[in-house]
Amino acid sequence: MVERKESWTSLASLLGTLAFCQTFLRMVLPPELRHVSLKFLTRAFRCFSSYCYFDIAEMEGVKTNELYNAVHLYLSSFASTSASASRLSLTRARNSSVTTFGLSSNDSIADVFDGVTVQWEHAVTQRQSQPSPWRPLPDEKRSFKLRIRKRDKDLILNSYLDYIMERLIYTNSRSSESHGRPWEAVPFKHPSTFDTLAMDPEKKRDIMEDLRDFAAGQAFYQRTGRAWKRGYLLYGPPGTGKSSMIAAMANFLGYDIYDLELTEVPSNSELRKLLMKTSSKSIIVIEDIDCSVNLSNRSKAPKAPALQSYSADPDAPDAASGGKNWNNTMTLSGLLNFTDGLWSCCGSERIFVFTTNHIDKLDPALLRSGRMDMHICMSYCSYPALQILLHNYLGSEGKDLSEAAASELREAVEKAKMTPADISEVLIKKRRNREKAVSELLEVMKARAEGKEEYGGLRDKCESNGVEEEEQEKRALESPKEVSDRENDSCQKVEDQEEKKAN
């Protein structure tokens, strides 16, 4: 108690001395020396202080500092419940029910990590000059100042910052764009990993090796003059694990995910801007690429109208483009440039992943060799994949099953053509009783194989889309005419079936 009292007394006297020195210097020194001597005094004070300080600026030159964004997001996640924050900024998009909290300029907030208290301050000042006329920086200069005790430096600089920098998932929307933020982020917590992913183990190993080679391949990409990026096309029926595979990839590599919503991108130039705002070590995802937007073939892409008819107002109707403003269009060629063109290399170490349920509906330009480095078919559950699901849900890989039961399961799963999602549904319901779960699964699989099970809608959908892998790859090499002939044929078949039903 006495000791604490003494240390408060000495701190008070130190502060008193500093204040006295400041006043004295102001009175005695000429103005040009005042600034230098005050700076010196502050430094001297910091030497004796038990605290140290770190600045985390929003921009590093013209590049965004990812740590700043991570801190911003992290603080906003608990700012509203913190007793130490006195002033918070609030943001909310017009059609959104989510309010985002932020630290107001020059306000501070305390946080506790592993029993250690740290202090954050958000410093905002006006920018005095623009370093580059080509890429203007925000008018405000923003940074977070972190104050910690010197003795906690190791813990904070290692574990705490890692904790803050946990993976994020970003998405784009027009409302966030209008607030000057092309991407909105939330922490990414999907638990899917390659261990929990049910698929053929050899195929899984190949994908993991490919990802590992990619992440460690900086020197290779440099030497061969290739942009350090890789593309994966995941295709297959719904519920076969395409989205789970993306999450597993992100967790495996420790990358962020940018989930690109194409329907929210008004034009090719906006798409390019979004690309420029993605960070390295990230996975850029376009889910359901066949139904996101009506991507026309490059030859059919809308042409720019004559220069004189181009309106400076992006919302004005344009006669030359039939009332549509050409600037307001996203085309297939824009998307191909996004993944493949010169702009695709404005960052590095990035993975593009497209998913589709209908590979046969994709434009051949998207499938041509070299465009997407790997085409991965996610298909119905095989026996090795079923073993992984049994392990996930029941804690066994079927190894404790009798040989007869195992071979019954093997036969049933090959015949049933059920997706891992369908099988997971059965297992999750009965997971408390392993025997019951296995026997119910067998029953469902047999019923499915005989076409008795009530999965009508989904099954029809799977069967019509679940083309065999070889056949899908063959289709990838078809010319546009062959694709359209085949599609006309299948449309004709559906029409014939419907006519039959009606009669």
Ligand X SMILES: Nc1ncnc2c1ncn2[C@@H]1O[C@H](COP(=O)(O)OP(=O)(O)OP(=O)(O)O)[C@@H](O)[C@H]1O
User: Cβ of residue 378: shortest distance to Mg ion, in angstroms?
Assistant: 9
Instruction: In angstroms, give the least distance from the CB of 399 to ligand X.
Output: 19
Pick from 348, 354, 170: which is nearest to 245 by CA?
354
* Residue 456 beta carbon to Mg ion: minimum distance, rounded to whole angstroms: 21
Q: Which residue is nearest to ligand X (CB)?
A: 241
Q: Which of 125, 175, 115 is nearest to 145 (CA)?
A: 125
Cα separation, 316 vs 323, in Å, equals: 9
Total binding residues toward Mg ion, as defined by CB under 5 A: 2
244 binds ligand X (CB under 6 A): yes
Which structure tokens are listed for 356?
């589709």
Partner in contact with 387, chosen from Mg ion, ligand X, none, beta carbon below 5 to 8 Å by kind: none
Does 102 participate in binding ligand X (rule CB under 6 A)? no
* Residues 235 to 254 in contact with Mg ion, rule: CB under 5 A: 242-243
Nearest to 366 by CA among 398, 338, 326: 338
Determine if 251 is a binding residue for ligand X (CB under 6 A): no
Token reading at 70 = 């991570």
Q: Which stretch binds ligand X (CB under 6 A): 140-148, 151-159, 242-250, 261-269?
A: 242-250
Strand partners, 229: 350
**Rounded distance between C-alpha atoms, residue 271 and residue 344, angstroms:** 11
**CB closer to Mg ion out of 103 and 285:** 285
Which residue from 243, 327, 333, 344 is in contact with ligand X, where contact means CB under 6 A?
A: 243
384 lies in the binding site for ligand X (CB under 6 A): no
The whole-angstrom separation of Cα 172 and Cα 382 is 36
SS3 186: strand
Q: How far is the CB of 407 from ligand X (least distance, A)?
A: 23
Is 270 in contact with 218 (CB distance < 8 Å)? no
| CA-based torsion, 377, 378, 384, 388: positive or negative | positive
Residue 6, φ and ψ in degrees, nearest 5: -65, -40
**14 versus 291: smaller Cβ distance to Mg ion:** 291
Q: Which stretch binds ligand X (CB under 6 A): 125-133, 196-204, 209-217, 302-310?
A: 196-204
CB distance 257 to 188 below 8 Å: yes
239 binds ligand X (CB under 6 A): yes
**C-beta of 182 vs 237, nearer to ligand X:** 237
When the beta carbons of 68 and 352 are compared against ligand X, the nearer one is 352
Q: How far is 228 from 312, CA to CA, in rounded Å?
A: 37
Question: What residues make contact with Mg ion under the rule CB under 5 A?
Answer: 242-243
Question: What residues make contact with ligand X under the rule CB under 6 A?
Answer: 196-199, 238-244, 357, 378, 420-421, 424
